[in-house]
Amino acid sequence: MTASSPASGPTVASLQDVVVQYDGRPVLGPFSLDLTPGASVALVGPSGCGKSTALRLLAGLEQPTQGVVRRTPGRGETAVVFQSPTLAPWATALDNVALPLRLSGIAAGPATDQARAALARVGLVGSERKKPAQLSGGMAMRVSIARALATAPRLLLMDEPFAALDEITRRRLADDVMSLWTEARPALLFITHSVEEAVYMADRVIVMGPGPGRIVAEHALPDGFPRPPRFRTSPVFRDAVEHVSLALQTAMESAA
């Protein structure tokens, strides 16, 4: 995988004063966000504050009611990891990872080779022929992450990727995702309910408030990826968690 350099402008994707309404009911905005190459941005906020909507706008899967969405990644250069692994139950792990490559028109042979390499990078050597029903929740999520990274995306979007996993598995997976991410550093935006996860994985944590969704606070963190071993006990980490939690609490109280 080669590090992608932004050819067209400083941002990979941006939202400018976007507003999204479903049947006239406002769910998001006005909302603005720039994703620069190499950045890791976390979106936290109460349920139903439009986080997933913002993610789908950035992915180009949805159009805003008002405002401008700018995206520079071409076809196949955006990857999304959903809350559930979202694997095709009839296909093997290898075929699931090869799917985006095949859809992009890569021949079966090279696609399979790349998929095998992507599975190896997430630690799933030997599980290539297994089907999703034969994988544990953590393993299935790894296949999903391998599928997202197989195409060497310039924009990586993750919607609560570890929400369904136990604490130990999600910490291990977060470390693995971050070390894989540092290899090429695509612009990364992820949604999480865990403030600690946000502070651990992001250099920019954005707190959203509801009704309709907008930014209520932002917290910048030192880059330093991958995080050093005892980062979770450092004052920087603790202060950031405290600060973001407070902002989140305020946002949720204003919702209640």
Partner 1 sequence: MNRLAAIVAPATLCLALLVGWELACRGLQLPVYLLPAPSGIAVALAEHAGSLFQAAWVTLSSALLALLLAALVAGPLALSAAVSPLIERAVQPLAVTLQVTPVVAIAPLVVSWAGLDHPEYATTALAAVVAFFPLFSGALTGLKSADPDLERLFDLYGATAGQRLWRLRAPAATPFVLEGVKVAVGLSVIGAVVAEISAGSGRSQGLAWTIVETTHQLRMAETFAALFALAILAVALHAVTRSAEVEILRKWRGR
**Segment near partner 1 (CB under 8 A); pick from 15-23, 75-83, 115-123, 182-190:** 75-83
Q: Nearer Cβ to partner 1, position 112 or 200?
A: 112
Pairing of β 66-71 and β 13-22: antiparallel
Q: Residue 73 to residues 4, 59, 148, 170, 194: CA-CA distances in angstroms? A: 11, 9, 14, 28, 28
Element (H, E) at 212: none
Q: Nearer Cβ to partner 1, position 58 or 251?
A: 58
Is 58 one of the binding residues for partner 1 (CB under 8 A)? no
Pick one of 9, 10, 17, 88: the residue that binds partner 1 (CB under 8 A). 88
Sign of CA dihedral 189, 37, 95, 140: negative
Is 194 one of the binding residues for partner 1 (CB under 8 A)? no
Sequence-distant (≥ 6) Cβ neighbours of residue 85 within 8 angstroms: 132, 137, 140, 141, 143, 144
Pick one of 134, 234, 249, 254: the residue that binds partner 1 (CB under 8 A). 134
Is 32 one of the binding residues for partner 1 (CB under 8 A)? no
**SS3 call for 29:** strand
205, 219 in Cβ contact below 8 A?
A: yes
Pick one of 12, 41, 44, 79: the residue that binds partner 1 (CB under 8 A). 79
User: Total binding residues for partner 1 by CB under 8 A?
Assistant: 28
Pick one of 3, 10, 47, 61: the residue that binds partner 1 (CB under 8 A). 61
Closest-CA residue to 213 (of 21, 35, 60): 21
The footprint of partner 1 (CB under 8 A) covers 56, 59-61, 75-76, 78-80, 82, 84, 86, 88-92, 99-100, 102-104, 130-134, 151
